[in-house]
Amino acid sequence: MSIVLENVLNGLMTRYKERVPDVSGIINAMIKENIIQQAGDIENDHIAFRTMGVPHLGVQSLEKIFLHYGYEKRDYYHFPEKKLDAYWYAPPAPQYPRIFISELRVKDLSPEIQQIITSYTNEVTGDPVDALNLDDAGAVDQFLHSGLWRLPTWHDFETLGKQSEYAAWVIYNRYYLNHFTISVHNLKDGYNTIARFNEFLERNGFKLNNAGGKIKTSPDGGLLQSSTVAEMIDATFAGGEVHSISGSYIEFAERRVLAQFAHLPKDQIQRIHRREGFEAGNADKIFESTYSSQTKR
Ligand code: OOG
Ligand code: NI
């Protein structure tokens, strides 16, 4: 089972690295500054997917893949302004990343936008995950990187984007990994806080999302996050038209040690001793990493 999960995760990371050159850029800068020896030294805090909340798709469909691999569904988050819902999933073992899956509340959008979205998603007439052999990593990898509906037109993409940049992103990018997340708290001194890691990133020329400030902090002070601004990809739309649109980005997370474990020596601190889960207020701003308010800054 874990071999299948590992292969699926590796497949996701391979495509993601191809689409987001900043991933290798950051890894190389980390190696150059001796923060890590190799890419494998990085702890992946979590990965994230975006979905369309329509019948046969959305969270209820995509989550089946990861529930099958032993992930457990945890907290629910709601984003009223962005019209999104999300859940996070705890991995079957601590060496695997958490998963964050969000979903567009399609029914909450205007009839015109709903009509555009369903003109694509109605091509999916049954839950595609039910038709998959989830023990076949190759089949799952192919599914996560294949078109669920026809290529969108540039006109539809632009119309969607005016009401929901998230909707436009999903219509084009589908289940491509939205981001992976570097855990910074286990890095060496000087780099093991979000504040210091952000300094390192900016010194090396990486552009950070500044929506709500570059550091997003949970009210309990235990979860601090930052992210790059999404990289642009050359997207081919219906009729072969090519336009530059937002692809994926990279996130950074610092999970502080919980007060009840503050007395533990540093070398005994494990994942279970740190702040778990996510934070709606942080996430709300991290979503904007792919929004034009950030990418066109
Ligand atoms: C997800 C944004 C939220 C987090 O860690 O809170 C998030 C997205 O952009 O799809 O990643
Ligand atoms: Ni995230």
Using most ligand atoms within 8 A of CB, pick from 87, 231, 251 the residue to mutate for ligand 1.
251
User: Is the model's pLDDT at 116 over the cut of 80?
Assistant: yes
How far is residue 38's CA from residue 27's CA, in Å, rounded to a whole number?
8
Residue 180 has what pLDDT? 98
Q: Given pLDDT bands bounded at 50, 70 and 90, which one contains residue 112?
A: very high
Of all atoms in ligand 1, which is nearest to the CA of residue 289? 9
pLDDT at residue number 188: 97
Per-residue pLDDT tens for 220-258?
999 999 999 999 999 999 999 999 999 999 999 999 999
Strands, sheet with 223-227, edge to edge from the N-terminal-most edge strand: 72-79, 84-90, 98-104, 44-52, 179-183, 249-255, 223-227, 216-217
- Ligand that lies nearest to the alpha carbon of residue 175, given by its number in the listed order: 1
Q: If you measure from the C-alpha of residue 279 to the centroid of ligand 1, how many angstroms do you get, rounded to a whole number?
A: 10
**Architecture of the structural domain at 2-295:** Roll (3.10)
Whether this model's pTM surpasses 0.95: yes
Strand partners, 181: 251
Is the alpha carbon torsion for 211, 214, 218, 224 positive or negative? Answer: positive
Domain boundaries, the chain: 2-295
Does residue 1 register a pLDDT over 90?
no
Ligand 1 pocket, mutate which of 49, 103, 179 (most atoms under 8 A from CB): 179
Instruction: Report the complex ipTM.
Output: 0.99
Where residue 141 falls among pLDDT bands split at 50, 70, 90?
very high
**276-295 b/e (C-beta count within 10 Å ≥ 16 → b):** bebbeebbbbbbbbbbeebb
166 CA closest ligand 1 atom index: 10
Contacts (Cβ under 8 Å, ≥6 apart) of 100: 46, 47, 48, 49, 86, 87, 88, 89, 278, 283
What are 20-71's pLDDT values in tens digits?
Answer: 999 999 999 999 999 999 999 999 999 999 999 999 999 999 999 999 999 9
Q: For residues 204 and 56, what is the distance between their CA atoms, to the nearest angstrom?
A: 43
Q: How far is it, in rounded angstroms, from Cα 247 to Cα 13?
A: 14
Taking residues 73-99, report their average pLDDT: 98
Mean pLDDT of the chain: 98
Summarised one tens digit per residue, pLDDT across range 147-156 is 999 999 999 9
